[in-house]
Amino acid sequence: MDWTCYLFGFKGRINRAKYWLAGLLLLSFMAAFVTLVQLALTINFVAHAMGTAHGSGKVSFGFRLDDIFSAFDPAAWRALSLAKLPMLLVRATGMVLFLWIFVATSIKRLHDRDRSGWWMVPFFAVPGLYDHFSDLFPGSYFALITGAIMLVLMIWGFVELYFLRGTKWTNRFGPNPLGKEQMRARGARARLRATTAWDQESEIEMVPHRASPPPLWRVKPGS
């Protein structure tokens, strides 16, 4: 398996098993990254506390899905300070890496369903942005209806990505990743012709002659 294309490429298709595996790998990478950063922060915090004979504050680091959509929130940018810049850069580096893997594998899974990668917008981006900025929307029926639509989109996307089988034939994004090719479903006329015995009399017609040559026999047009 080409792991670079599997985790970071946007072309081709992956089946459900590989998509589930990508999710488990992504969670493992995130846990390892957070553990290393937490360890570095703890060592730095202890060294600072020992050097000053006292220390205060809480050492914490983690990833939240809401952090992705905070980049589109002006209030989050106004709350930044130079003291938080190193931690912000570390968090942003990890977030870009993990988001890349998630989007790349999700797009290839959508390709397996014969869907464009742009379906990530209604399945992921729109519900996430709505959830982050939901406090800014007016209440009452508008929030209820909009929230219900976002929930339907999220459930639809989850089912599409994790549970539905990909196309068995070669689609516009590539061959079946399982290697079990199947012809695309045929139309009603093709199925009828394939399952019905050939009737010679129904396929041949006589064309009356206009002069001396004998009548001609030919196959009916469209047969």
Is residue 28 one of the residues assigned to a domain?
yes
Is residue 91 one of the residues assigned to a domain?
yes
pLDDT at 33 exceeding the cut of 50? yes
| Residues 70-93: tens digit of each pLDDT | 766 677 666 666 667 777 788 888
Q: How far apart are CA 173 and CA 99, in angstroms?
A: 22
Is-contact 22 6, C-beta < 8 A? yes
| Residues 101-154: tens digit of each pLDDT | 999 999 999 999 999 999 999 999 999 988 888 887 777 788 888 889 999 999
Is-contact 51 210, C-beta < 8 A? no
- Our count of domains for the chain comes to 1
Q: What is the pTM of this model?
A: 0.73
Is residue 67 one of the residues assigned to a domain?
yes
Is residue 179 one of the residues assigned to a domain?
no
Is residue 60 one of the residues assigned to a domain?
yes
26 to each of 99, 105, 223, how far by Cα in Å? Answer: 9, 10, 56
Is residue 8 one of the residues assigned to a domain?
no
Is residue 50 one of the residues assigned to a domain?
yes
Q: Which domain holds residue 63?
A: 14-162
* Closest to 71 measured CA to CA, from 21, 137, 116, 132: 132
174 to each of 7, 19, 109, how far by Cα in Å? Answer: 17, 16, 12
Is residue 48 one of the residues assigned to a domain?
yes
